């Protein structure tokens, strides 16, 4: 009762609870799913702590869709948790990144899995990380389509990002292959997302990034080979 009164009071004085907690350093035992779709927090999938983080400037103007390729599709929470752990280990240990690269992933169990979250810069689309949220649709979607529920949750996650003010309401949706030389997110999934709201056929390749106002001069210098991200 006291707890509810406290919440009411905080709401009354203008404190809101719109943002889902980043459970990275402070896992809570009483997490409440703030979304209208199944959601698995970092602490629930037992994420390792990020080595470092950098803030992402939001709302971002782009959403980038990926497939994992490997690990392949997962259909249960247990399998999807394993996939998240495998991706995080691969990104942190083999690629030497700070954390799992994606901001979020969506499993074949229909749940969204918290990656870096809305407010942390991702490592999923090289030159495009600072202007986008990266969502990985777990599985290899070169010739097969993900289950309907997996796609519906991905769409609901994007809608939640817009509602929370982390994704621009005017956002553009692109496949990873449009900003980097890669087959990701697989032909079948790519053809699917072309039908989604907000899909944009621009950019078509890394070269197009040089003409985009959203892309910083520093990034353009890296694309042109005049600089590197280690500078």
Closest approach, Cβ 69 to Zn ion, in A, equals: 8
Q: Please report how close the Cβ of residue 35 comes to Zn ion at its closest, in angstroms.
A: 23
Contacts of 87 (CB under 8 A, 6+ apart): 68, 71, 100, 101, 102, 105, 136
Place of tokens 């709401």: 11
Q: Convert residues 42-71 into a mask of x (bound to Zn ion by CB under 5 A) and - (unbound).
A: ------------------------x-----
Those residues with Cβ within 8 angstroms of residue 73's Cβ, 6 or more apart along the chain or in another chain: 108, 138, 139, 140, 146
Among 84, 137, 173, 184, binds Zn ion (CB under 5 A): 184
**Minimum CB distance to Zn ion smaller for 20 or for 133:** 133
3-state helix, strand, coil in the chain (%, to 5): 30, 15, 55
Single residue of 151, 176, 203, 215 touching Zn ion by CB under 5 A: 176
User: 20 or 123, CB closer to Zn ion?
Assistant: 123
Residue 198 zone, left/alpha/beta (φ > 0; ψ -120 to 50; rest):
left
Q: How far is the CB of 66 from Zn ion (least distance, A)?
A: 3
Report the C-alpha gap between 216 and 183 in whole angstroms: 25
Question: Does the protein bind Zn ion through residue 127 (CB under 5 A)?
Answer: no
Span near Zn ion by CB under 5 A; candidates 3-11, 25-33, 179-187, 204-212: 179-187
Count of residues binding Zn ion (CB under 5 A)? 3
Q: For the CB of residue 163, give the shortest distance to Zn ion in the complex, in Å.
A: 25
Task: Tell me phi and psi for residue 169, to 5 degrees.
Answer: -65, -15
The rounded distance, in Å, linking the Cα atoms of 55 and 68 is 24
91 binds Zn ion (CB under 5 A): no
Nearer to Zn ion, 20 or 135 (CB): 135
Nearer to Zn ion, 66 or 116 (CB): 66
Site for Zn ion, rule CB under 5 A: 66, 176, 184
């Amino acid at each position: 009762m006291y707890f509810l009164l406290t919440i009411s009071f905080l709401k009354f004085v203008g404190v809101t609870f719109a943002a889902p907690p980043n459970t990275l350093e402070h896992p809570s035992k009483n997490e409440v799913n703030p979304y209208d779709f199944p959601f698995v927090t970092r602490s629930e999938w037992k994420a390792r702590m990020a080595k470092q983080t950098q803030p992402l400037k939001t709302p971002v103007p782009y959403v980038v869709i990926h497939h994992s390729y490997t690990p392949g599709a997962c259909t249960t929470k247990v399998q999807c948790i394993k996939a998240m752990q495998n991706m995080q280990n691969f990104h942190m240990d083999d690629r030497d990144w700070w954390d799992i690269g994606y901001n979020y992933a969506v499993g074949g169990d229909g749940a969204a899995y918290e990656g870096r979250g809305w407010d942390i810069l991702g490592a999923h689309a090289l030159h495009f990380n600072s202007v986008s949220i990266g969502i990985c649709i777990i599985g290899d979607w070169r010739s097969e389509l993900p289950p309907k529920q997996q796609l519906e949750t991905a769409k609901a996650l994007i809608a939640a990002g817009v509602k929370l003010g982390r994704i621009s309401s005017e956002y553009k949706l692109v496949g990873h292959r449009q900003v980097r030389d890669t087959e990701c997110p697989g032909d079948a999934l790519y053809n699917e997302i072309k039908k989604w709201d907000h899909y944009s056929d621009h950019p078509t390749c890394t070269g197009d990034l040089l003409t985009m106002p959203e892309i910083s001069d520093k990034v353009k210098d890296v694309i042109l080979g005049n600089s590197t991200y280690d500078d």
